[in-house]
Amino acid sequence: MKIKLGLTAIVLAGALIWSGCSMLPSPGEVIQPPKQAGAQEEKDLELNNYVQKLLPAGAKLAVPAYPAGAKAIQKADVDGDGKEEVVVTYSIGSNPAQLKVSVFKEDKEVWTYDGQGYGLDCFSITDLTGDKKPELLLGWTVGASAGNGLDIFTWDHNTLKRVTGIGYHKLEIEDMPGPNGTDGKAEIALWQKDTGQAYVIEVLRWQDNDLALAEDVYPYYFKRVVEYYGHRVKEMPDAAFYWYYLADAQVKSNLPAEAMKSIETGVALKLDYPKDYQWHIVKGAAFNKLGKYQEAITELQKGITSLEASNIAFERTHLSQAYLEMARSYQGMKDYDKSEKAAEKAKEITQSTLVKDTAQPQLRSLPGN
């Protein structure tokens, strides 16, 4: 039975465009923007005054750090009835303040939730499922080292319900293009801090009532990550972990030849971190992209041998990844029985790993899922 993995390249598109003109602007061009800005400011002030009357006494609006320019008061049709509700993030009290989010419908509070942590990192209302009803995404700042916790809510049976949560340090939310363009569903790029300015980065989407790896958009998104780590290795060329994460991003961007060069440079530094098994696994993934499946299996087996007896969750996650890559190797060799067995082994390891936040999305990307 043939197992499809569906990884396809897409060229990074879209950039900030600055334009100018040597000609003098027309009177309409000069006059119109201030009118629009003034009207919007008036609407914002009116909405702010309206919301303040609905909030508890002493409540202060909590403005999120992400997305850029996002406000504490947002309007959206969260229940799909064709009418916009008002969603507000705010805090009550001090030392410490209690973060809260409330939804108001026709002057009535229909839902409220107590947030965690001491700050609001993210407040986004966007469609993750493609059902035309947006989900509510809230990122609470827990601490400098712990980072943030993302809660995702969806409308179900006349109320918003929390459907999942995951930790992160940085994130980007965007409907990312796959091989057939965008699909109307936003993906979430999560950056989880490792060491220095290095991050474990994954792109997730909502699939079958859970977060799953969105591997079809990797070539689009990870080109940004390649650029990021390209700067890091220039700043600190002796930091092997930057070369490792650069290689990982290059593999995911369909740049395996470049990844091999990064791996060679990083391994030559002979440092204790990243571990040897990490280099073997990323090299195996690069060989898979190059179509050198037997070489990939050889590298992956080295990583598996190093990790097989480990009970450490972080290492078990890498072990699962090694078996997942081996499933791809056997698929490339058209040995579908061995591919399926390797995929099942990866699934088994993932299910036994206690760290759901890192393991579960990987499980849902396995062949056959």
Q: What is the pLDDT of residues 164-200, one digit of tens each?
A: 999 999 999 999 999 999 999 999 999 999 999 999 9
- Residue 36 has a pLDDT of 55
- Going by C-alpha positions, the residue among 254, 238, 321, 235 that lies closest to residue 282 is 321
Rounded Cα distance between 29 and 182, Å, is 33
Strands 98-105, 85-92: pairing kind: antiparallel
- Going by C-alpha positions, the residue among 135, 185, 178, 127 that lies closest to residue 155 is 135
CB-CB contact of 155 with 163 (8 Å): no
Q: What is the mean pLDDT of residues 297-308?
A: 98
Rounded Cα distance between 82 and 280, Å, is 53
Pick the residue with more confidence: 76 or 30?
76
pLDDT over threshold 80, residue 93: yes
pLDDT over threshold 70, residue 241: yes
Please state the pTM of the whole predicted model: 0.83
Pick the residue with more confidence: 256 or 145?
256
Q: What is the mean pLDDT of residues 53-65?
A: 96
- Residue 31 has a pLDDT of 42
Q: What is the mean pLDDT of residues 281-306?
A: 99
Tokens of 364: 């849902």
- Residue 37 has a pLDDT of 54
Pick the residue with more confidence: 124 or 107?
124
Share of the chain above pLDDT 70, in %: 86
List the end-to-end C-alpha distance of the chain, in Å, as a whole number.
14
Q: What is the mean pLDDT of residues 357-361?
A: 43
Share of the chain above pLDDT 90, in %: 77
- Going by C-alpha positions, the residue among 314, 312, 310, 300 that lies closest to residue 359 is 314
Residue with tokens 């947030």: 115
Tokens of 180: 């057939």
β-strand partners of 114 = 100
- Residue 11 has a pLDDT of 23
Minimum mean pLDDT range among 31-40, 134-143, 240-249, 359-368: 359-368
- Residue 362 has a pLDDT of 46
Rounded Cα distance between 241 and 267, Å, is 10
pLDDT over threshold 80, residue 358: no
Strand, helix or coil at 210? strand
- Residue 244 has a pLDDT of 99
E runs forming strands in 156-238 = 160-168, 170-174, 187-193, 199-207, 210-213
- Going by C-alpha positions, the residue among 153, 71, 170, 143 that lies closest to residue 114 is 153
Q: What is the mean pLDDT of residues 100-114?
A: 96
**Averaged pLDDT of the chain:** 87
- Residue 28 has a pLDDT of 38
CB-CB contact of 131 with 147 (8 Å): no
Pick the residue with more confidence: 15 or 229?
229
CB-CB contact of 109 with 159 (8 Å): no
pLDDT over threshold 50, residue 360: no
pLDDT over threshold 60, residue 289: yes
Residue ranges of alpha helices (H) inside 217-335 are 218-235, 240-252, 256-268, 276-290, 293-307, 313-332
- Residue 95 has a pLDDT of 86
Q: What is the mean pLDDT of residues 42-65?
A: 93
Rounded Cα distance between 350 and 323, Å, is 10
Tokens of 9: 């390249």
Query: Tell me, what amino acid is at 10?
Result: I
Strands 170-174, 187-193: pairing kind: antiparallel
CA 62 to chain centre: 23
Q: Which fold has domain 51-161?
A: Lipocalin (2.40.128)
Pick the residue with more confidence: 361 or 118?
118
Minimum mean pLDDT range among 41-45, 140-144, 273-277, 345-349: 41-45
- Per-residue three-class SS string for 258-274: HHHHHHHHHHHCCCCCC
pLDDT over threshold 50, residue 75: yes
Q: What is the mean pLDDT of residues 263-280?
A: 98
Q: Give 17's pLDDT tier (boundaries 50, 70, 90).
A: very low
Rounded Cα distance between 244 and 207, Å, is 29
Minimum mean pLDDT range among 49-53, 81-85, 356-360: 356-360
DSSP-assigned letters across all residues of 53-78? HHSPTT-EE---SBSTT--SEEEE-S
pLDDT over threshold 70, residue 282: yes
